């Protein structure tokens, strides 16, 4: 899974029918301190994440192993909101 | 999923039989403002996207989870046309 | 799918039995003009492609969705020979 | 599989129900000497690995081929703790 | 598939039970001349490859399509030993 920061959202009228009603969030990969370091990608939100949250995203076929994304043409899913990260015994990120 | 700009199309006479009648579009990954930043790749169009459209593409086995691409040897599919993108509360892209 | 140029071939005596009789071609990813830009990888040829051809390759489990590659330990397949590519209304590549 | 160093852990209250009770460790890809060289990613621990251990991680659908991760939305799993690595006949890493 | 050079081996006592008895080799991606160019990764050997051999590795779910790796949490497999590579009509590598 990737550590990612949710930075925004997408709106699409024309889309595959299995995407109806799904929240497609823009994420950027982040480091162990929660700082965004990567380029943007889009993931289906399954845990009511909001812009600014640090989350975990699962990719590929693993992105379809949730109730909301089963059999849908989606390859990334937000499956956890991160409360805190700990590195070498120290807290490197804590949700504010 | 990747945010991508549709930049062109491909023509192939000799191809796997499951590709007959499918539109294979050339895409380039784009950033949250819709600017192309990545190298070209090819995706099957399932939403009647046109050159110049900003779209979402799903990859890997997720690219085969549409009516048009089921069981076909394709690893990328255009499954949504993007109307707008919003980042940190501001509209970063709107379809013209 | 990736746009790729076929640059060579591989010979292996010792291999998984499901690879018997398959043509394993060396490819390099190419841009929308057909110029090779990436590093080499190997794909199973299913469309009688030759060295010098510009082709499309499908990857991952999608590489196993052809008659020749079903259930085989292969992760890339040549599934189309490109006749021409068109970008922004202009022909960027045409097979000679 | 990737050679990876376990550098930390994650805590999430809000997560997919299939992640309940799973240890989600922060890993960094490492070289053949055990030195971390890559960026962080998160993997489910299935072998009771600890921070500082050098491990092997399997990715994608292969990350779901363990008793603990079956059918879960996870794309990376720690499936071995490395005792030693040998390169060109010499020991390049040994667990202390 | 990737062209790869086998550079070493790994030893793990604590591992997923499906890995028992499997040879986990350290590989580095190589170019069409057989020169290692990439970073190390680990693949299950299914063709009795040795250190110094140039091989082909299949990745992702394709890495599980051999008798030895079926249903195991492994994402890379050595499925062929390369005898020779030919590029643009010339032999670029020959096993010594």
Mean of the pLDDT values across residues C27-55?
97
Residue from the list B7, B11, B42 with its beta carbon closest to the beta carbon of C1: B42
What confidence tens digit (pLDDT) does each residue in C58-90 have? 999 999 999 999 999 999 999 999 999 999 999
The whole-angstrom separation of Cα D4 and Cα A64 is 26
| Stretches in chain B below the pLDDT threshold 70 | none
pLDDT at D52: 97
The whole-angstrom separation of Cα D15 and Cα E87 is 50
Percent of chain A with pLDDT over 70: 100
β-pairing verdict for A2-11 and A76-81 = unpaired
pLDDT at E81: 98
Q: List domains and CATH numbers for chain D.
A: 2-94 (2.40.50.220)
Mean of the pLDDT values across residues A68-83?
98
Cβ contacts (< 8 Å) between D41 and chain A: which residues? 1-3
* pLDDT tier at A5, thresholds 50, 70, 90: very high
Any chains having at least 3 CB pairs less than 8 A from chain B are A, C
Residue from the list E1, E79, E85 with its beta carbon closest to the beta carbon of C76: E1
What are the Cα distances from residue E22, in Å, to B24, C71, E47, E60, E73? 41, 21, 11, 17, 12
Cβ contacts (< 8 Å) between A4 and chain D: which residues? none
pLDDT of chain E along its 96 residues, tens only? Answer: 999 999 999 999 999 999 999 999 999 999 999 999 999 999 999 999 999 999 999 999 999 999 999 999 999 999 999 999 999 999 999 999
**Quick check: helix, strand or coil at residue E54?**
strand
- Quickly list DSSP for C62-93: GGG-STTTTTSS--EEEEEE-SEEEETTEEEE
The whole-angstrom separation of Cα E55 and Cα E46 is 11
* pLDDT tier at A66, thresholds 50, 70, 90: very high
**Quick check: helix, strand or coil at residue E61?**
helix
Buried (b) or exposed (e) across E72-96, using 16+ Cβ within 10 A?
bbbbbbbbbbbebbbbeeeebbeee
Please tell me the pTM assigned to this model.
Answer: 0.97
* pLDDT tier at C52, thresholds 50, 70, 90: very high
pLDDT at D75: 98
pLDDT at A27: 98
| Beta carbons within 8 Å of C32's beta carbon, 6+ residues apart | B7, B8, B26, B40, C3, C85, C87, C92, C93
Find, among E1, C77, C59, A8, the residue nearest to B59 by Cα: C59
- Please identify among residues 59-78 of chain A the ones whose CB lies closer than 8 Å to any CB of chain D: 59-66, 69, 77
Q: Is the dihedral of CA C20, C26, C30, C34 positive or negative?
A: negative
Cβ contacts (< 8 Å) between C84 and chain B: which residues? 10-11
| Stretches in chain D below the pLDDT threshold 70 | none
- Quickly list DSSP for chain B: -EEEEEEEEEE-SSB-GGGTT--EEEEEEE-TTS-EEEEEEEEEESS---TT-EEEEEEGGGGG-STTTTTSS--EEEEEE-SEEEETTEEEEE--
Q: Are the beta carbons of C3 and C85 closer than 8 angstroms?
A: yes
Interface touch B71/C87, C-beta < 8 Å: no
CB of D51 within 8 Å of any CB in chain E?
A: no
């Amino acid at each position: 899974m990737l550590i990612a920061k949710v930075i925004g959202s997408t709106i699409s009228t024309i889309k595959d029918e299995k995407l109806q009603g799904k929240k497609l969030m823009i994420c950027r990969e982040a480091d162990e301190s929660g700082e965004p370091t990567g380029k943007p990608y889009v993931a289906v939100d399954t845990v009511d994440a909001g812009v600014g949250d640090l989350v975990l995203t699962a990719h590929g076929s693993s992105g379809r192993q949730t109730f909301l994304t089963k059999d849908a043409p989606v390859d990334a899913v937000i499956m956890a909101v991160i409360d805190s990260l700990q590195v070498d015994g120290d807290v490197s990120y804590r949700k504010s």
